[in-house]
Amino acid sequence: MTQATAPLPAAPEAGRAPARPRSFGRRVIARPELSSLLGAVAVFALFFAVAPPFREAASLSTVLYSSSTIGIVAVAVSLLMIGGEFDLSAGVAVTSSSLTGAMVAFQLNLDVWAGVVAALVLSLGIGFLNGYLVMRTKLPSFLITLATFLMLQGLNLAITKLVTGNVATDSIADMDGFDSARAVFASEVHLGGVAIKVTVFWWILFLAIATWVLLRTRAGNWIYAVGGQADSSRAVGVPVKRTKIGLFMTVGFGAWFVGMHQLFAFDSVQSGLGIGNELLFIAAAVIGGCLLTGGYGSAIGAGIGALIYGMTTQGIVYAGWNPDWLKFFVGATLLLATLLNMWVRLRTSRR
Amino acid sequence: MSNSNRRLAFVATLAAAALAVTGCSSGGGKQAEQQNAAANAGTAGTAKIRIAMITHETPGDTFWDIVRKGAQAAAAKDNVDLVYSNDPAGPNQANLVQNAVDQKVDGIAMTLAHPDAMTGVIGKAKAAGIPVVGFNAGIDNWAQEGLLEYFGSDETIAGQAFGDRLNQVGAKHALCVIHEQGQVALEARCAGLKQAFKGQTELLYVNGQDATATQSTIQAKLQQDKGIDFVATLGAPVALLAVQSVTGAGSSAKVATFDTNKALVQAIKDGTVQWAVDQQPYLQGYLAVDSLWLYKFNGNTVGGGKATLTGPAFITKDNIDSVSQFANAGTR
């Protein structure tokens, strides 16, 4: 594996032997997702010990499902954060996407796949707009996407109410193409007597693709480069603007996918959903080793971060603990994970 | 003044302040609450069973404290291990129901605020042979979703009763404040109110999770439209905020609400809130758990295939005294 932030080999200083290439063990320890993996094992062990229902395959499937709907977007968000940007609009963008899909199909009496395509166009459009504005204005993406987040939140309610007269869309369950779309986005796969939601498999697939892109392609190098040193990478010919806009559109794609899942899992969509989830995506990416400053992190780590979130939220219920404490534990997990990340990074960056 | 003297003076001041704040209060507080202890009964001799209660509670809404107290009272009486969980977002609530199915609980009591999102998991629960009852929200959907029984208030009827009352007091222009987007029960209340009320009804959406935003949004609306003479809120905490909004806007509008809590009882006594439509949340939580116990150990179902209504009843200045004792204990 190539090092995420491979430092240039330093010129040997006078009177010192040149640094030897780092050993395999050293390289494993320096992976950004390692500490989150330790955290995931710890959380899993904790709930495995205290909650008997947690030990069953069916429960594990619920945990994975609850992780996957956060995880699919979190993977895209982690790529964006490695690229040095931030997206606060991803949570409500999921709902915007499913509302668009439902309303286009229902109001125009189209096959639901037409709604799916319309939603994809909208989601990629929102991503493009975010990216374009960030690159054009040079404002921090935090501000731009905060504005998008608030605007989308308002649009979700206002347009839904305007078009349907209610705050939720009409059910599209009896329309053409619904069954095939449900099979793609919201079906269940039975493995050895356990029903696993299809989103889990999509999540793993997206994780694999994102990891391959990051570690094995030129685009992946560009992502690390624009996140680490935008000006330097521009100077050596990396298309900074294209890369960053592409990353925002990738988040749009993730939001679209989860939006479609919600639409086909529940046939009608409430316009107020999704608020607050943008922070969970970011939390998952940060637990997985991404830095807020960009240039460092991994997609696998974000996947593990989402898994930690899923295990914590469901595990507390399996353990029969009072759900009042849920958010506290999620926050405490986040804090511990980031401290662990920092510690591991400091230990491994020393020569 | 030398350094050590100054430090001494500082410590002395702190000690004095600490003594002052640890002085006893002559009224209110925990002691008053404990004197109003809630209903308490023995325990059934049946085997211990596990019941999951899953609601759409927005964390921090006083209404649900009362529901949970009712559920806990029934659980204590029936030797039930009660597992409570909640999430205001439909998909997340569905996940929590799935979670209860995974745990192989003996019964599920759930709210159907987002019925579409629940169809799949209710099917899962039934396939696993777990009895499911509904309460509080979803009176129009529980039967078609295939739930055993339902305990709650018919929100449309409650809304109509509210509208009739507005006609009686001669209101002309009402503002109906919805504090949770897309919650079917709340929408039904305002729709019922609009049907029965002869005057003009306007809807206003606020974010119930943000008190200051709620208060200022209502205030702005009252300032913008001086014609509003009645604010109808759908929850006790929102009613208390609306009272502040009315004062802040210098409006002469009156406030009335659905649902009660401890602070609201005082507001009705003071006359700052005209009335509250009560749906007896304690009863909803209690019956949901108790009915599952009855079903488990004696095969009983309540309601003869119809919803069991726990409301609406009006709480006004005239009957507030009979309610306030229980409200102070947090069970009404």
CATH code of the domain in which A130 resides:
1.10.3470
Work out the number of other CB atoms within 10 angstroms of the CB of residue A136.
Answer: 11
In a domain, A79, yes or no: yes
- The answer to whether A120 touches A101, Cβ cutoff 8 Å, is no
Convert the pLDDT of each residue in A37-64 to its tens digit.
888 998 999 999 999 889 988 889 989 9
Q: What is the pLDDT of residue B160?
A: 96
Structure tokens at B225: 């439209």
**DSSP class per residue in A255-284:** HHHHHHHHHHHHSS-BTTTTTTHHHHHHHH
Q: What's this model's pTM, rounded to 2 decimal places? A: 0.81
B99 and A59 within 8 Å at the Cβ level: the answer is yes
A34 or A350: whose pLDDT is higher? A34
Give which of B89, B51, B205, B203 is closest to A92, Cα–Cα: B89
In a domain, A253, yes or no: yes
In a domain, A112, yes or no: yes
- The answer to whether A84 touches A265, Cβ cutoff 8 Å, is no
Helix (H) or strand (E) holding A23: none
Q: Which residues of A make CB contacts under 8 Å with B?
A: 53, 56, 58-59, 62, 65-66, 69, 157, 166-168, 171, 262, 265-268, 270-274, 314, 317-318, 320, 322-324, 327
Query: Mean pLDDT throughout A238-242?
Result: 94
Indicate where chain B has its CATH 3.40.50.2300 domain(s).
Answer: 49-153+281-301, 155-278
> Among B102, B187, B205, whose Cβ lies nearest the Cβ of A62?
B102
Query: What's the whole-number average pLDDT of chain A?
Result: 88
pLDDT band at A9 (very low <50, low <70, confident <90, very high): very low
How many domains, in total, are found in chain A?
1
Q: What is the pLDDT of residue A8?
A: 45
Residue B227 touches partner A, C-beta closer than 8 Å: no
Strands B273-278 and B254-258: parallel
Q: Which domain holds residue A183?
A: 36-350
List per-block mean pLDDT (blocks of 10 residues) for chain B, which spans 332 residues. 72 69 65 55 85 89 90 95 92 94 95 91 95 94 94 94 95 93 83 95 86 88 91 94 92 94 90 95 96 95 94 92 85 87
B103 and A62 within 8 Å at the Cβ level: the answer is no
How far off is chain B from A53, nearest CA to CA, in Å? 5
How far off is chain B from A230, nearest CA to CA, in Å? 39
Structure tokens at B134: 């509904």
Residues in chain B closer than 8 A to A272 (CB atoms): 180-182
Query: Mean pLDDT throughout A132-142?
Result: 95
Residues in chain B closer than 8 A to A168 (CB atoms): 116, 182
Residue B107 touches partner A, C-beta closer than 8 Å: no
A56 and B102 within 8 Å at the Cβ level: the answer is yes
Of all residues in chain A, what percent carry a pLDDT higher than 90? 58
In a domain, A8, yes or no: no
Distance (Å, rounded) from C-alpha B301 to C-alpha B180?
A: 32
Structure tokens at A229: 């040193």
Q: What is the pLDDT of residue A333?
A: 81
CATH topology classification for B155-278: Rossmann fold (3.40.50)
CB neighbour burial string for B280-297, b if at least 16 within 10 angstroms, e if fewer: bbbbbbbbbbbbbbbbbe
A197 or A15: whose pLDDT is higher? A197
Residues in chain B closer than 8 A to A317 (CB atoms): 83, 85, 96, 99-100
A31 or A134: whose pLDDT is higher? A134
When mean pLDDT is compared over A73-82, A150-159, B31-40, B202-211, the highest value belongs to A73-82
A59 and B181 within 8 Å at the Cβ level: the answer is no
Query: Mean pLDDT throughout A316-345?
Result: 83
Using DSSP's 3-state secondary structure scheme, residue B203 falls into strand
The residue type of B228 is I
A53 and B102 within 8 Å at the Cβ level: the answer is yes
Query: Is the pLDDT reported for residue A14 higher than 50?
Result: no
Residue B210 touches partner A, C-beta closer than 8 Å: no
Residue of A nearest to B119 (CA): A266
Q: What is the pLDDT of residue B18?
A: 66
pLDDT band at A323 (very low <50, low <70, confident <90, very high): confident
Which of A55, A270, A312 would you mutate first to test chain B, the one with the most B CBs within 10 A?
A270
In a domain, A344, yes or no: yes
Question: Check: CATH 3.40.50.2300 for B49-153+281-301?
Answer: yes
Q: What is the pLDDT of residue B27?
A: 64
The residue type of A146 is L
